Amino acid sequence: MNVRKLLGAALGALLLGSGAAAADTVKVGIIGPFSGPFALQGKNFQAGVEAYMALNGKTVKGNDVEVIYRDLPAANPAQARALAQELVVKDKVQYLGGVYFTPDAMAITPLLEQANTPLVIFNAATSAIMKTSPLVVRTSFTTAQTTTPLGKVVIDNGVKKVISVVSDYGPGIDAEGAFKKAFEAAGGQVVDAIRMPMNTNDFSPIMQRVKDSGAEAVFAFLPSGPTTLGFVKAFNETGLKKAGTKLFAPGDLTQESDLPALGDAAAGMLTTFHYAVSHDSPENKTFVEAASKAIGNPAELSFPSVGAFDGMHVIYKMIEATEGKQDAAKAVDAVKGLSWTSPRGPVSIDADTRHITENIYLREVTKQADGTYINKEIQTFENQKDPGLAAK
C-alpha cells in the first residue's frame, strides 16, 4: 500500500469511527435474565421495551434509539458489574435499564456516576437500592410497598397468627419487616419467621415447620420464577391448604405466567401488587395488545413487562430533556416528579427518592368462564410511596 492509500484508509476509519458515535443515535443497554430458569422474566422485559417502541416510535427529538440486550441468567453481582461496564465502555450506551435481581442492581449502581449514565430499574425491588446512587430511578415496585397493605387485609380475613417465610436476601428481608410492621399494627402476631436460601427448591422441611408453628396462615415472598411456582405447589401438595391454612403474599407468587400451571391450587388466593395483566383501563388494553404481539404468547405476559414499558417511558423523557446528549444528572433531574398514566394506573416518580409512586391493588386469583385464571383486582390502595424508604 502506498502512503496515499494508507492515509485514505486511516481517514476512512476515522470517519467511520465518528459516524458510529454520531450524536443522533442514543444507545440503551438492557440487562436481564434472557436465558436460564428466569428467561421468561427477561422475555417480559423485552416485550415491554418492544411494546413501548412500537407504540411511541424509535426516535426521540430526531435521535434514533438503539437497544442492546445483555443476558444475566441468575443473580450474579460480578457478572452484572462486568456487563454494565462493557455496555458503557465498549458499546457506549448512554442509559442502562433492566436488572431483575437486587444483588445485581447493587453491583451496578457504584459505577453510574463515573460513567455519567443513569440506571432505570425495571424490577429489582429492595428499598435501599435507591440510596446507593443519585443516578438510579425505579419503575417497578418495592416489596415493602407491595406488602404493607397486606397486613390489614390478613386481619380483615379473620387471621391473627401468621408465620413469615421469605427468601434470605434484600427483597425478602424488606418484605418480612414491612409485613410484620403492618400486620402487628393491625393487631396480628407473627409467630415465627423463616428465611430460606435464595436457591431453595425443596420446600418440604419449610412446610413441616409451618405445620408445627400453629399459625393460621403463611405470609411468603420469593422472587418470581420457578421458585415461586414450586413454593405455591408445595404449599398445596403438603396438605396445608386442605387443613385450612391460608397463604398470603405479594403478587410475585401469582404472576400470570404461573397461573395455568397452578390452576385450581391457586384459586381464591389473595395477593397485593402493583400490576395485573387483567387491569381494566384503556391504557392497559393498548399495552397488553402491543406486549402480546411482542412476546408471541400472551399467556407468558406478567409484571416485568410493565416495569420495562414504563422504564422506557422514563428513558425517552430523559433523552428528550437532554436532546440526545450524555448528561446523566440532567436526565435524572428531568424525570423527578414526572407523572403519567401507566398500564397499571396513575404513577409518578417521587422527586426525593426517584422511586415510583403507584396504586397497590388487592387481587384474588379467579377462574374465568373460559377456564383461564386471572388476578382479579378487588380493592385499590391509592398512591403508595415506598414505605421502606420512608422508614430509613
Residue 306 in contact with residue 342, Cβ under 8 Å? yes
Q: Which stretch binds ligand PHB (CB under 6 A): 43-51, 54-62, 119-127, 332-340?
A: 119-127
Neighbours of 135 (CB within 10 A): 21
Residue 32: strand, helix, or coil: strand
Distance CA 384, CA 386 (A): 7
Among 67, 83, 124, 144, binds ligand PHB (CB under 6 A): 124
The type of residue at 346 is: P
151 binds ligand PHB (CB under 6 A): no
What residues from 48 to 107 belong to the interface with ligand PHB (CB under 6 A)? 100-102
- Considering the complex, what minimum distance in angstroms separates the CB of residue 376 from ligand PHB? 20
Cell numbers linked to 7:
492515509
User: What are 95's strand-pairing partners?
Assistant: 28
What residues from 203 to 232 belong to the interface with ligand PHB (CB under 6 A)? 223-224
- C-beta closer to ligand PHB: residue 258 or 350: 258
- Considering the complex, what minimum distance in angstroms separates the CB of residue 63 from ligand PHB? 31
Question: Among all chains, which residue has been given the C-alpha cell 397452578?
Answer: 262
Total residues found in the chain within this entry? 392
- DSSP summary character for residue 43: H
Residue 352: strand, helix, or coil: coil
What residues from 155 to 194 belong to the interface with ligand PHB (CB under 6 A)? 171
235 binds ligand PHB (CB under 6 A): no
125 binds ligand PHB (CB under 6 A): yes
Among 50, 216, 252, 256, binds ligand PHB (CB under 6 A): 252
- Considering the complex, what minimum distance in angstroms separates the CB of residue 258 from ligand PHB? 11
User: What are 192's strand-pairing partners?
Assistant: 163
Distance CA 181, CA 198 (A): 23
- C-beta closer to ligand PHB: residue 159 or 354: 354
- C-beta closer to ligand PHB: residue 171 or 324: 171
- C-beta closer to ligand PHB: residue 94 or 224: 224
Residue 108 in contact with residue 80, Cβ under 8 Å? yes
- C-beta closer to ligand PHB: residue 10 or 391: 391
Element (H, E) at 162: strand 161-167
- C-beta closer to ligand PHB: residue 117 or 143: 143
